[in-house]
A and B are shown apart, each in its own frame.
Chain A
């Protein structure tokens, strides 16, 4: 990792080039301009996000006291959390399967795994509706959070292929001699995986998990078609709310959601960083 600490202006210190920084800065500016607008307008003393009419926090109180918004919030975070955990594990395993083994009909299998990425959302939503209502008869009256299991199962189905694709792209460059060296030095398969392969693929796993979380948290179509009564999620709530117009209440709720996710991310990073240095 010595190259990271090379003297300023070295040939590989791309991150010190002003033009690259400026370009990336511009991208971030464009990415965040709408978000900043959204946060600012959540404090706007007007029912609509059109003109500034003075500062207020009343929409936060309104959002706080809006039970169904609150419920939708918890449901969404619950679904996204479970779905991310499971799809990260499954997706990573599929990536390793495809990376490590030769087996008959492999390209067909790869195609199948990529299928959830290919299917138009609405088509998948309808498929889930048909499936859960006529094939399995998933019960809808379980106690929370198990009433969300149909939605979660569907989310995992469309998330883990994304994880698999990303992790596999990362694994392609792995030097298998490292694995052999580890085994030659007496490490078991499991130790080799944990100490050699996993640290290598970790950036891919993290990226995949982030994608899975994003996909689940923001999914409207599949969730809508999979949900039973009393399983309101945040996107479904938002879709019906903005039907009447985008109120600062929606903005306030989103701002809170951003704040919560930032807090969780920072926490996760704190917990993760001092441990296990690959």
Chain B
């Protein structure tokens, strides 16, 4: 532990070899200087969330090698960066986490001048309540959370959250999602409150609604609602639109609807975390992802809604007219994005969720 230093003083990357090098019995070359950036960038992304050749194309276009690591949800991403950035240059958090990370000084501001392709983004997406002026984030993909259902097994179109939250009609054939804020937020929506309420009485009411409905809910499915639907385990599942879309390809009996009470709209964003070792490359990479052709290739492969107007012009009619990807204006009007409401509210939700799961 000869080289131990206070981490507060210097960035993590600048530490020289500690115990491990000695233990491994190797000598390290002297540390490279950082006057010019290495031709690499560390991209931290969701799996299957980029075009098949995007990284290679980027390397061909700029000579910068993009290395991608994967996280499975926003909480993982947050936990990973909480104690300091271990060396990532570009990350993809969702809207509420953009705000939370910005409040926690975990993001570094974007230099819009270095990202000319910002012009490709549809103007409506350049305004965001969670990141005023798009100081820290640029939109990558967006979508909704609604109800995926097996059309042959339900009466008509289940266009209300009632069928999931407040009815025994489909008892034992219902799967809700597995995280507190979404499940309770949508219960609040059904009760006619805001998804983002901070009123403890309203939150309590949502908790009671879910507890009363528990005998009829089969499970809280973290991420496999679409598989449960496809295998016939449940007939109604609360899910992300993209996940339902994937099962629709093979099973035409499955459909997706945003209920009339409204739902939640999410947006995954490109950000540069504080302490990123290659900020220049990171800007270049974000710019590349927002390019018309690159953006179209990505959207074509992952089949989520892109906010990239220039890319949309290159996309097929089939993609653009799919209501599960792009909801109608009327539906969009009823959608609410999740807002970061402070740690106290997070705690309130977690406690409620523990009680819901314990009864």
Contacts and interface: CB of A to CB of B under 8 A. Distances in A.
B45 to A, nearest CB: 9
Interface in A184-227: 224-225, 227
B12 A224 contact: no
Given A136-B4, A137-B15, A140-B86, A240 B71 contact: yes
A126 B230 CA distance: 36
Contacts of A50: 227, 230-231, 250
Contact of A141 (B19, B69, B84, B87): B87
B84 A133 contact: yes
A109 interface: no
A48 B244 CA distance: 12
Contacts of A232: 69-70
Interface residues of B, number: 49
A253 to B, nearest CB: 13
Nearest to B32: A141
A246 B16 contact: no
Interface stretch (A12-20, A23-31, A146-154): A146-154
B227 A129 contact: no
Nearest to A241: B47
Interface of A is mostly: loop
Nearest to B47: A240
B48 A244 contact: yes
A229 B282 CA distance: 14
Nearest to A237: B70
Interface stretch (B20-28, B107-115, B313-321, B343-351): B20-28
B80 A225 contact: yes
Given A149-B20, A232-B70, A240-B70, A135 B4 contact: yes
Interface residues of A, number: 41
B88 to A, nearest CB: 6
A246 B227 contact: yes
B276 to A, nearest CB: 10
B218 interface: no
Nearest to B83: A133
Nearest to A247: B48
Contacts of B71: 240
B246 A245 contact: yes
B223 interface: yes
A102 interface: no
A270 interface: no
A139 B15 contact: yes
B18 interface: yes
A68 interface: yes
Nearest to B85: A133
Contacts of B82: 129
B72 interface: yes
Nearest to B44: A229
Contacts of B4: 135-137
Nearest to A246: B227
A236 interface: yes
A230 B67 contact: yes
Contacts of A240: 46-47, 70-72
B13 A139 contact: yes
B17 interface: yes
A245 B86 contact: no
Interface of B: 1, 4-5, 7, 12-13, 15-21, 23-24, 26, 28, 42, 44, 46-48, 67-73, 76, 79-80, 82-84, 86-88, 223-224, 226-227, 230-231, 243, 246-247, 249-250
Interface of A: 46-50, 68, 126, 129-130, 133-142, 146, 149-150, 153, 224-225, 227-232, 236-237, 239-246
Closest 4 CB pairs of A and B: A137-B15, A240-B47, A240-B70, A229-B42
Given A150-B20, A245-B227, 7 more contacts: A137-B7, A139-B17, A153-B20, A224-B76, A229-B86, A244-B47, A244-B243
